[in-house]
A and B are shown apart, each in its own frame.
Chain A
Amino acid sequence: MGKTIWIVTALVMLAAPWAFPGGFALTLLTQMGTLIIFALSYNMLLGQGGMLSFGHAVYSGLGAYITVHALNAIGKSWGWVTPLPLLPLVGGFAGLAFGVIFGYVTTKKAGTTFAMISLGIGELVYACVLMFPGFFGGEAGISTNRTVGQPLFGITFGPSIQVYYLVAAWCFACMVAMYALTQTPLGRMANAVRDNPERAEFVGYDTQKVRFLQLVLSAFFAGISGALSCINFEIVSAENVSAIRSGGVLLAAFIGGIPFFFGPVIGAIVFIFFVAALSGFTKAWLLYLGLFFCIMVLYAPGGIASLFLMQIGLARAGRLRRMALPYALAAAAALVALAGLIGLVESVYRLSDVTSDPQMVLFGLELNAKDPAVWIGSGLLLACGLLAIRFASRTVVARWDAVQQELKGASA
């Protein structure tokens, strides 16, 4: 079972560029690979260790800065084969080193104190990056060229497909490594410290040390993802260490599902879809992402992964079919509400931005944001959709409970 999942994952990663051809899809896939590593490393703190960090981008960002300098140094003086495929290790060890320095401070306390100090360190590093343009390149950042040096076997890492496979290989290796870490004494004690730090002390563990080691390892993987984004974009700027990045990875991990190892993988994929794909269609993508996040926090705190696993449980018991109708109802209701919401949001965006054209195309319809009919129509759709969701969700819950009762009766 365990091995099958890994083989399938590897095959999916190998085949993805063929399943989704085109330059844009490849860009997305490469970014997903980097973010998967970053989100999983973040979940080593939040999901596994109970540490809510608001400054995780510090480790990926500083790892990226060290990598960009390493790459530029290679470009100047290296006459031999480029060690580009191994460069993520430089980022990883840089992340680890900063993890040792900052982690020593942040992991002294857990809970709110940890969260606050991580936020403080994030701001501190961001300020420093802008204050020392000599090393960090200021707002503009530092650019590089990944194709410097001699290619090995004709692989220059110029074409983005080669970069994708480099990222995919590292992503797979990091996933395996991070999963393996959850099955070690430290990994398990990180869970124990998350659940009950006091008891962990009374079975012989220094909770501070457990948190510290967990953070240092997590910073290592964050550094690897930073190095990969440096190789991919060929530029590292202050944005790489910013609170926006730190917040983004929190969102990605949470949306995917922090109680599960694979949750952040799903989260990273969805997040990139919002950030990179949706932003091409609408200026309001951040609003949609925020709304989606809020809905997940409120109604599915276990993330997409938890929703998924619930269905798998039912499917195994052969009862998924019984849920088909309520689910279809709920989906239809959600679609109606979503259509209304999109109509309103897009109209507001068109009107609030004087430079944009009030004429827009939504769902294949030519609409004008200044037309009251559009507003009334969208509002009605949203209201009806929300009402329908109320009704549908009751049906879903009722049917769900009934099925659970049946299963209980069957097993007893």
Chain B
Amino acid sequence: MSALELRDVHKSFGSTKIIQGVSLSIAPGERHAIIGPNGAGKSTLFNLVSGRFPLTQGSIHLNGEDITGLRPFEINRKGLSRSFQVTNIFHHLTVFENLRCAVLWAHGYKYSFWHRLAKLGGVNRRAEEVLQKIGLRSRAGVPAGTLSYAEQRALEIGVTIAGGATVILLDEPTAGMSRTETAHAVELIRQVSQDKTLVMVEHDMGVVFDLADRISVLVYGEVIATGTPAEIRGNAAVQEAYLGTSLAQAAHA
């Protein structure tokens, strides 16, 4: 059974067709990258899977269960979590509180107004653990809005994985980062995606070929190829449509 399966997914905004019949099957534990030129519909695809936009046609299945048309929080409760291309955190809350908010539902505290946060041992331990993992220990008490860009990106990933989702969607996790920051981020992603299914949109080919088990190439709302990094590298259609020189560079790098 696939961890995440898209069946003939379509999305139109008005008369503009953004996604035109995407079918994908991602196995449990797989690290899958979606690449493609700007405007190919990668982020839209993420928004469809995570319930941010409704589908025009087709269906999406999470661990064999149909999640088409569910709302974001319902999909999240079923074990799918996502990050955002533009950092999307709780700006006035501290770094620690950001992580704690991401853990609460998964630990079953729901809308409780009769538990004291300070006494929720499991929640606090988990938030501490993620804090350690994303390397923001020393920044725990700082309002998230005052973090540096790279730190906010790390927190973004932390908030995404803190709830313990089994399927994780990362939308351009290294966008706008320097080379050292990117290296850090790749290490972090490798660590937090252990024993999880990871789907990510990424422009940095170095990151993609480094991390991904399989790659799908999205062009004009259609998947023109899916395969292992080696297969994608050798695929003539992909080279023609999109990669060209940047692939050659990545291969030599």
Contacts and interface: CB of A to CB of B under 8 A. Distances in A.
A198 B71 CA distance: 11
Interface string B106-132: 100111111111101000000000000
A213 B100 contact: no
Interface stretch (A147-155, A158-166, A199-207, A280-288): A199-207
Interface residues of B, number: 37
Nearest to B104: A185
A200 B76 CA distance: 10
B113 A184 contact: yes
A203 B92 CA distance: 17
A309 to B, nearest CB: 14
Contacts of A205: 73, 105
Contacts of A189: 101, 104, 111
Interface residues of A, number: 28
A54 B5 CA distance: 47
Contacts of B71: 201, 206
The dominant DSSP class at the A interface is helix
Interface in A135-185: 180-181, 183-185
A189 B19 CA distance: 34
B77 to A, nearest CB: 5
A188 interface: yes
B111 A202 contact: no
B91 A195 contact: yes
B221 interface: no
Interface string B81-104: 110100011111100010011101
B88 A188 contact: no
Contacts of B106: 204
Given A203-B105, A204-B73, A209-B111, A195 B117 contact: no
Nearest to A206: B73
A217 B111 CA distance: 12
A215 interface: no
A369 B4 CA distance: 81
B72 interface: yes
B230 to A, nearest CB: 34
Contacts of A183: 116-118
A181 B113 CA distance: 6
B41 interface: no
A183 B114 CA distance: 9
B50 A202 contact: yes
Contacts of B81: 202-203
B215 interface: no
Interface in B189-206: none
Contact of A185 (B73, B77, B82, B109): B109
A35 interface: no
A209 B110 CA distance: 10
Given A192-B90, A195-B90, A185 B76 contact: no
Interface centre among B73, B76, B93 (most CB of A within 10 A): B73
Contacts of A43: none
B111 A210 contact: yes
B154 interface: no
B92 A195 contact: yes
A201 to B, nearest CB: 4
A186 B93 contact: no
B159 interface: yes
Given A185-B111, A188-B100, A204-B76, A199 B88 contact: yes
Contacts of B76: 201-204
B163 interface: yes
Interface string A255-284: 000000000000000000000000000000
20 contacts: A181-B113, A184-B114, A185-B104, A186-B111, A186-B112, A196-B88, A196-B89, A198-B72, A199-B84, A200-B101, A201-B71, A201-B72, A202-B88, A203-B76, A203-B104, A203-B162, A203-B163, A204-B106, A209-B111, A217-B113
Interface of A: 180-181, 183-189, 191-192, 194-196, 198-207, 209-210, 213, 217
Given A185-B120, A199-B90, A213-B113, 14 more contacts: A183-B118, A184-B114, A184-B117, A185-B110, A188-B100, A188-B104, A191-B90, A192-B93, A194-B92, A195-B91, A199-B84, A199-B159, A203-B101, A206-B71
